[in-house]
Structure 1
Amino acid sequence: MSKLLIWFKETRPHFLLLTPVTVLVGISTLMHDKVGIDIVDLSLVLIGALLAHISVNVLNDYFDYKSGIDLKTRRTPFSGGSGILVSGLLDPLKVKMLGLLSIATGLVIAAYFYFKVGWLILLIALVGAGLIYFYTDYLTKVGLAEVAAGLGFALMALGSYYALSGSISETITYSSLVVFFTVANLLLLNEFPDVNADKAAGRRHLPILLGRKNASYVYVTFEALSYLTILHIAFSHGFLALMPLLSIPLAIRSSRGAIRYYDDINKLVPYLG
């Protein structure tokens, strides 16, 4: 395997697909609100968002490796780390530097937008950077893992809209709330296989604090809140917003999987992601 491919895998590219989807929330809301979009600025927003997500992935991998948690975690396609550091394929310090460099470059892009649209974009970027850096070593140990993940991507959607428009609308506020519930749920379900290893490492996410069974009910509640928010957007701002409801069958499937197989990881794995 070439070194370049190893570095690419370290960024966990299958997770990075979430970034353009999140930015698309901001773009589609801008189009709904009839706001013009500058292509250069849009490109910078997407690059900054990808850098933020890359930093999340590689720093999480680095801190998990340093804590030893990845040696105890059962790997699935969506949990247990990349396996790159555990396999000794990359220097951990260089991986950490990639994460920090990604954050720093993202903040430079935010500084550019500060001069274009104002201080709020810099505040959003700084809060996001704090969530990224303190996520693994602190936020996961005080019961804020799911909130931090959801908030981080909600800010990505909100920040994309603000960077390209210089304003915040009611529509993007509610759309960002949908992103919050969706991403918090993505993380929540992916935490189920890691409960024992995470608990030994001092983490305190919802499946540990509440138990897998009760956490599965939280998952279903977040799914419901997400779709209720979509309904609110549709009734307030136009029925095109109902299009995300086409994903309800997938939500029902994953919710049933969480309720039925919360304690059977082998059967739960197909519902992760």
Structure 2
Amino acid sequence: MAESAAVIRASRPNFLILAPLCAGLGIAVAWRQGEPESLVDTLLVLLGAVLAHAAVNLFNEYEDFLSGLDRITRRTPFSGGSGALPRHPSAANKVLAAALATLGLVITIGLYFLWLRGMSMLLVGVVGVLLILTYTRWLTRSPLLCLLAPGLGFGPVMVLGALIALGARIDATGILVSLISLFLASELLLINQIPDAEADRTVGRRHLVVTRGRAAAARLVPVLLVANYLAIVLGLLAGWLPPITGFALLTAPLAFWVSRHLAHALDQPDRLNAVLGANVATLLATLALLVIGLWP
């Protein structure tokens, strides 16, 4: 029973809300285009997105346990893993099995949409699977790839993949919201790497916080947040986004607060946790308001 609970914890269920929000952007754009509203296909897109996110988390937890990172990292509510395997080492093989099984379900859903929509699904499907399999072991060794990989997975792969899966066309709105997801997801993973930098360095990770330092990462965070809001403004001015999506700009003051306080919180764990929490709220609220605004 304890091992089963450890497997569930290793999937980090409290973080899985991000995937349906990102896939939801693609679904909202597809339905806005007037595509047939297939409830089964829509649910499969959402399920595939959640399972893909869970698979990444499970592989990450397993790899971090093998590398010893789990034993030296300082966990926060937003970083450092779940701590499930250090508490229950005997569950490691079950976590790996769950990761493989979850990935298998993602591939099965992908094959269904490949059969339904043709070869247009192949590229996003292959990229998505490669990101799941390579992120922890290889992509975290490259500063640029580690920064872009989360954004690519939660942005173009999930958003444009949802459009293709539902038989919609990739238009300016779809591309724009996939870029918004890219900026926000990459920013989220970047800021959450700040508390883990020293532990990550010990096991050979080379993301931007390790190679450039926490101060440099703190300067890049507002750049990605501003890019997100500029993309929304561009979409509104160009008519690619409906006016109601302008409510997503209401999160800008909270993003400004995060940007202003981050640099001063780097050496104060409690204060940094508050900033990380506000950042998560900013991201989720922005995506949710966009999904609501895009819904037909």
> What TM bracket, shorter-length normalisation?
over 0.9
* Aligned pairs, number: 273
- 8 Å Cα contact 2:2/2:88 also seen in 1: no
Which of 267, 272, 275 does residue 271 from structure 1 map onto?
A: 275
Amino acid at match of 2:151: G
Q: How far apart, CA to CA, are the structure 2 residues paired with 1:120 and 1:97? A: 30
Q: How far apart, CA to CA, are the structure 2 residues paired with 1:165 and 1:234? A: 25
* Corresponding position of 1:104: 104
SS at match of 2:81: coil
- 8 Å Cα contact 1:234/1:240 also seen in 2: no
* Corresponding position of 1:217: 219
* Corresponding position of 2:127: 127
- 2:15 equivalent to 1:11: no
Amino acid at match of 1:187: L
Percent identity for Structure 1 against Structure 2: 37
Higher RCO structure, 1 or 2 (CA under 8 Å, sep 6+): 2
* Mapping 1:138-217, distance limit 5 Å: 138-143=138-143, 144-154=145-155, 155-217=157-219
| Structure 2: unaligned runs, 5 residues or longer | 281-296
Amino acid at match of 1:158: L
- 2:81 equivalent to 1:78: no
| TM-score, structure 2 as length reference | 0.88
Most deviating of 190-199 and 94-103 = 94-103
Q: How far apart, CA to CA, are the structure 1 residues paired with 2:236 and 2:36? A: 22
Change in CA separation of 1:93 and 1:5 when aligned onto 2, cut-off 3 Å:
closer
- 8 Å Cα contact 2:19/2:50 also seen in 1: yes
* Corresponding position of 2:247: 243
CA deviation after TM superposition for structure 1 residue 166, in Å: 4.2
| TM-score, structure 1 as length reference | 0.95
CA deviation after TM superposition for structure 1 residue 41, in Å: 0.2
* Corresponding position of 1:228: 230
CA deviation after TM superposition for structure 1 residue 131, in Å: 0.7
- 8 Å Cα contact 1:84/1:90 also seen in 2: no
* Corresponding position of 2:34: 34
| Structure 1: unaligned runs, 5 residues or longer | none
